[in-house]
Every structure is written in C-alpha cells, then in structure tokens.
A and B are shown apart, each in its own frame.
Chain A
Amino acid sequence: MQKTNLLESGSIMKRSKSKKTALASQNVYDCVATGHEDRLGDMPDCILHHILSFMETRHAIRTCGLSKRWRYIWTSIPCLYFNSKSFTRLVDFKKFVLWVLSHRDNSHVKVLIYYRFGVDYATDQYLFNKVIEYAALHGVQEIRINLRAKTSGCPPIEIPLPLFTCQSLKRLELKDCQPTNISSPFGCKSLDTLHLEHFSMFPTAADFSNPFASLSELFGFTTLTALHLNNFALCYTGMECLDPFAKCFNLKILQLSEMSFKSDLSPKDFVISAPKLSNLSLICNRFRCKIVVASPKLLNFTYLYSTPCAFFEYSLPSLDGLIIDIHELPEPLEKSHRNKREETLHGLINMLRGHHKAEAVKLSFCTVAVTCGAAALEKPECLSYSKWKSLDFGVGSTYKIFINKLDHITAYFRNCSQHVDFEIVNI
C-alpha cells in the first residue's frame, strides 16, 4: 500500500498516551454508533487537524465559529495552504496571508502550499519571503509553490535564503517560476524529493553549457532520492555527451517529462547514469539525440514516446528483475519514422542480446510489438545463448489488428531461450 502521506497520522503521537486515548475513542465510538453525540467534535485534535489540512487555510479558519471547542483549532493546523485563486483581488490575498501568519499559534508547520497566480510579470517578492521565512522557522518539511502569471508564465523570483538553510525541508515542488539566484552555498541539505515544473533559470543565472549544472548548484542534487523535471526547454552548448545525474549518488527515482533541447543546442548523447537509480520514466520528451540508459541498478524503465527521433542505447550490466514498459502514441507510419522506430527497438533488442545471462525479463509494449517482431525477424541471429526462463510479455489491447503477429514475436523469444520450459505470459 504505497501512499504519499501529506501528513503523518496523529495516531502515532496518540499511541504514547495509549490507554487514556483508547478509552476516549471507545466512548466516542459508542456514542457515535448510537447516533446521538457530537462525533467530529469528540475526535482528538490531531484527527481534526488531519481533516482540516486538506482544505485551503481560508476554509479551515471558518471552523472557528462552530463552537467554543473549535474556536482556536485552526491556529495549530500543521498545514498552510494559500491559494490566490480563492480571492477576488491579489491585495486581499496578501492581507489574508499576513494575517494568518501573525495569528497562528507557534506550532510547527509540516506542509506549506503557496499558489499565487499573478496577473503581470512580477510576483510579490516581499510576501513570498515572509511566507517562506515563516515556514522555515516552523520546521516545514514539504513546500509546494506555483507562481504562474497570466501574461508571462514564469515570473522571475529570488528564492529566499531561509529555504536553502532550512534543515527540516524534505520535499520541494516549484512550478512556473524563474529563480534569479545564481547559486546557493548550501543547496538544500536534507532535500529528498525535488519537483520542478515549467521552470527555467533566469537567463543571467543559467549556465548554458550545462543546463543541469545550474539546477544542481542551486538545489544540491546529491542528497535527492527522487527528482521530477517537467516541461523545460534546455540548451546545451558543449560538444560532449551530457551526463547530468552521474553525481546524484542517492537518486533512486527520476522522471523527465516534456523536456526538450532548444533547436540545435542538444548534446550528441544524453546519458542517464545515476549510480543507484532504480526507477526511470521518460514521458513525452522531445529529445533529438541518442539516449543512453546506463544506470547499473535500474529496475523499472517506463518510456512514453512522443517524437520519432529518439533512439536508445542501453548500457546495463544486469537485466535481472528489470521491467521495461514502452508505449508509443499511434502515429501514421511514415517511412522515415519507421526507420527511427526500428532503431529504438534495435536498441532494445541489442540490449536483450547482450544480456543472455538474465533469467527473468518483463517487457511490455503497446504498439511497438509489431515493429519489434518485424524488425527482429529481419535479423537472423538469435539470442542463442540466452538463459531466459521467463518473459512476461504485455501487448496493449488497443492494437488488436496486430495480434496476428504475436505468434511470430513469441516464437522469436521462445527460440532465444535455451530452456524447454520457457514461459511467456501474456499480460
């Protein structure tokens, strides 16, 4: 049961006063079950906070009027959720935010959500500084920011220093902004998960020879275990291959989506080689260069394709336990596109050829199946030394017209294995 918990349940804290609260719960439950008593109100504060933490702060504050018991509950909700869309004027939003910061009690803030959808180019630097400073002072662990502006998209913003020096910050999400900071001497030391969307570095701050280097300097990529980058246009002026994640020693999950390199400013090879990477997702990117997947501990690779120009090379020492999930969007099969696709698939087949020692491989294809089969059959060499014992082979059901080729494909793989009891499971 994987859940990204917005807040830890208050129950853990409750357990330490176990007997007393267990009895309290019992009474509440009995009362509730008979349908007569105040239910929500009798729940311990931590549960009420948990419920209220899913609402914008503006709505949560209304509970102050419910009854005496509820008067000050809002002041210690460990979540601040400010959304300027709920206010008719930005000036009211500002007044509200400042009011909340000064009327809240001093309890800690676990999550800060700050969405300021502005109208013009500049965003409110003063307000942003105040909010970040407050959150950092109160032990914030997760911050989500969106500063989208109507006219310009990503306003320039200086990320306040307290964010970088905040020892408690574990997850950071930044959308629609352009940091003007050149670098931070601190990075974010405890940062675990970073999510940057529709983001760009302010031109003077960016290092064009290596676009990821500026991000890495600003946020400190080395502590991250999960990184999501979405919707960036990058430039790369170097001549070599780009291997931006090589020093991300703790990175386990990487997701790149809707990324592209501007016009001709792309590297020759884009290498992904984070040493501990186990999950890689490439979704709807527009890379026009060769992608080399060279992460030694990779277990899951998901690829949702969008341009016909990407092609892959794999440099993986082991395939054991690797799950590859490749989806192509249906497109008319123009000749040139078809060639590129075969290159993509050849990359995959070449990889499989190289890994004849793997025992279990799980591949799932949608639409790629036919081309893979056709391409594979064109090459007479088989994986004759393959030790494959099982192949979980998934074919997307939308492409039923290609099903008649499935036999060829499965026969191909069956031929490649030495085992008599080689199993192909159609997912």
Chain B
Amino acid sequence: MAEEKSQASSSKMLTLKASDGVLFEVELNIAKEMKTVQAYIDDCEDIETIPIPNVLGKHLAIVIEYIKKTNEEYDAEFEKQWNMDDLQLLLLAANYLNISGLQECLCKAIAKRIENKSPEYVRKVFNIENDHSPEEEAKLRKEYKWAFEGVDKD
C-alpha cells in the first residue's frame, strides 16, 4: 500500500529534521499522521523541511516506522523491543508529535511494566526522587495499607 501511494502523483514528499540534524524523507500521508506536523503544514503550505526539535533521529526513525506498519499484530509486538528508557522517550515524542495511536500503545506498554511493582522499583525505573519524609511515608503506608499488599517481587 505504501508503494502504491508513493507512485501516485498526489503523494508529495516531505523532509523531517530531527533534533540531532538527522533528515527523514517521508510521504505526505505518513507525515500527516503526526498531528503536530499536520498543523505545521496547514500553517505554512509550501514548507519542505520541517524541524522536529524535540525528537532525536533514532526515535523519529522508530516513530515513522510505526506509522507505516501499524496494525494489531505489529502493535502487539512493537513495545517488546524497547527498554524502559526508550519507551519513555518514544512516549514523549509521540505526545509532542500528537500521534494518538502510538501514544496509546506506549502508555499501555509502560503501564504493563509497572503495574504491580513496588514504589521503590517504580522510582528507580523512572528516576523519581522520593521527597517524602520518613514520617509522611509511614503515614501513607498505613492509610493505603491494602494498596501495598500483594506487590510483585522486584
């Protein structure tokens, strides 16, 4: 299907420039799945190169691939290839570029990975600083006692 589209005369090519300078040539219909890019095109019609200052080349490549290949099967396997760091960066990219399908897929994947884990685990994975005092923390644990039962081993 992508092939047919690139042969059609209406399929214009667009260049996307990642934050580290890497350039990507994509068909217009692929780029339009990124609503942020669509808005940019709507504002400046003749633009050929669109800067994407918030996304590294490596992640933009993954995002473009996702848009081209997305379907139920692909989505189910997609998130398995990435570690937690990449998942978060991809989520930020998907959110900035406003690609709802990808954002949904990534949020689901992250949720699955932290679902039944202890707060210590989640803090480590997301690099969250624990600014609760020990008293506050003890109080929380008591109040939410049932929430901390049955947590997976880290």
Which A positions have Cβ atoms within 8 angstroms of B? 1, 3, 5-12, 14-15, 22, 25-26, 28-29, 32-33, 35-41, 43, 47, 50-56, 58-59, 61-68, 70, 86, 92, 96
Contact = CB atoms under 8 A, between A and B. Distances in A.
B100 A40 contact: no
A32 B88 contact: yes
Given A47-B107, A51-B107, A67-B123, A61 B89 contact: no
A112 B141 CA distance: 26
Contacts of A43: 91-92, 95
B62 to A, nearest CB: 14
A35 B13 CA distance: 34
B131 to A, nearest CB: 5
Given A47-B95, A64-B144, A68-B131, A39 B111 contact: no
**Which of A25, A43, A53, A66 has the largest count of B CB atoms less than 10 A from its CB?**
A66
A11 B103 contact: yes
Interface residues of B, number: 48
B95 A9 contact: yes
Contact of B146 (A8, A28, A38, A96): A96
Contacts, number: 129
Nearest to B85: A35
A54 B131 CA distance: 26
A40 B126 contact: yes
A33 B128 CA distance: 16
Contacts of A51: 107, 110-111
Contacts of A52: 111
Nearest to B141: A65
21 contacts: A3-B104, A9-B103, A25-B95, A28-B92, A29-B19, A32-B89, A39-B92, A40-B88, A40-B110, A43-B91, A47-B103, A47-B107, A50-B107, A51-B107, A51-B110, A59-B116, A61-B144, A65-B140, A66-B122, A66-B128, A86-B150
Contact of B100 (A11, A26, A38): A11
A236 to B, nearest CB: 36
A291 to B, nearest CB: 28
Interface in B62-110: 67, 70, 85, 88-89, 91-93, 95-96, 98, 100-101, 103-104, 107-108, 110
A41 B111 contact: no
A67 B141 CA distance: 13
A62 B148 contact: yes
